[in-house]
Amino acid sequence: MLEFFKDYKYFAIVFSILSVIILTTFYNILKVEKPLPIYQPALVNYELVDSTIQHRKKYHKIADFSLINQNGKTITQEDYKDKIYVADFFFTTCQTICPLMTDNMHIVQQKTMNDGDIMLLSHTVTPEIDSVAQLKKYAIEKGVNDAKWNLVTGDKKQIYELARKSYLAVKTDGNGDEYDMIHTENFMLVDKKRQIRGFYDGTKTEDIQRLLEEIEKLKKEYK
């Protein structure tokens, strides 16, 4: 009888060790970090999406573009090739949410300053006002680093279509005027395949922190 309990004791120890190993393995499998979602037009607030693509559920990417930055340089998708970047829409004379958005984008600039994989891209929604000279003045005032952050202007139709057909981020003005836009507080995180991987409220500190964390998470996909 004593020999039986002795053998059972050893069995119980071995079983306990195996149980711990199995449970630890399952825990590690279950806690594997899920990748960031890939946003499609059909999954975004329809007010921010052009009616021609509101049904689209896959294969959405940022379209090719050609715009002019604060230094008068032509900026295209090639300048953002193989980069993760944060995009938004603003205008330099905005006195409501834009100053806070720009301040928060500046925080993102500072936090990613030494990371060559990360860039920023801000599009004006009033290109008729925001000339190259106006953007340059604004860039200097706001501490924009030209190597990392482009403020761009250009053809209003192209900016409108980028806003509503690519970035899924801007409302129309509601009065039927062609290509008029009401910009939102949205920041968009775009991956190296030109896919939208996150939306953030550019006026909220907690969303900026989440954006910075999700930039790091996205970077892991490329390791």
Kindly report the number of other CB atoms within 10 A of residue 46's CB atom.
12
Q: Where are the alpha helices (DSSP H) in the chain?
A: 2-30, 98-111, 132-142, 156-161, 205-219
Annotation-wise, does 183 bind a ligand?
A: yes
Relative to beta strand 171-172, strand 66-68 is: unpaired
Place of tokens 């806003």: 163
What is the Cα Rg of the chain in Å? 24
With the CA atoms of 85, 89, 92 and 95 taken in that order, what torsion angle do they form, in degrees rounded to the nearest 10?
-120
Q: Determine if residue 98 is labeled as part of a ligand binding site.
A: yes
Q: Which residues are annotated as a binding site for Cu cation?
A: 94, 98, 183
Q: Which residues are annotated as a binding site?
A: 94, 98, 183
